[in-house]
Amino acid sequence: MFSGSVFGDDFQDARDAIDKEDYKTAHQIFLKLAKKGHVEAQFNLALIYDLGKGVPKNHKEAVKWYRLAAEQGLAEAQLNLGVNYGLGRGVPQDYVLAHMWHNLAGSNGNEIAIKMRNILAKEMTPQQLEKAQEMARNWKPKK
């Protein structure tokens, strides 16, 4: 459910806390790392808020952390951000942004995002689709 790579003892401590279902501890550690720009910590923190594990469920806060990780190019965060835009969960519903984020995640190898993008495309006008594709072409990751 939660992802990440080895990045120091703190990140591993948070992963260990997740394994023990100690989400409050994981939240505290991920928050500290996420504020420092650690992309996997940002993504995992977003999941904690999205699922309400150790904290009240808060889709707006989840979107905030998904966006920070997505802007750094993390495909899983791009997928989840696209899902939130598509559903209007934590943000106003916006198929153009949902498509753009799914397109980017798909370009980063996420096959689920490609399927989601194609489903969304069937619900969009040609103008919306063109705008989403243009936004994806012009997108650059923030580091």
pLDDT of 4 reads 47
**Mean pLDDT in consecutive groups of 10 residues from the start of the chain, 143 residues:** 58 94 96 96 97 96 98 97 98 98 97 97 97 97 84
DSSP code per residue over 70-124: HTTT-HHHHHHHHHHHHHTSSS---HHHHHHHHHHHHHTT-HHHHHHHHHHHTTS
pLDDT of 86 reads 97
pLDDT of 27 reads 96
Six token digits for residue 136: 């994806």
pLDDT of 143 reads 73
pLDDT of 39 reads 96
pLDDT of 9 reads 86
Q: What is the pTM of this model?
A: 0.92
- Structural domains in the chain, sorted by start: 9-138 (1.25.40.10)
pLDDT of 5 reads 45
pLDDT of 1 reads 54
Angle 75-87/39-51 helices, nearest 10 degrees?
30
Buried b (16+ CB within 10 A) or exposed e, 105-119: bbbbebeebbebbee
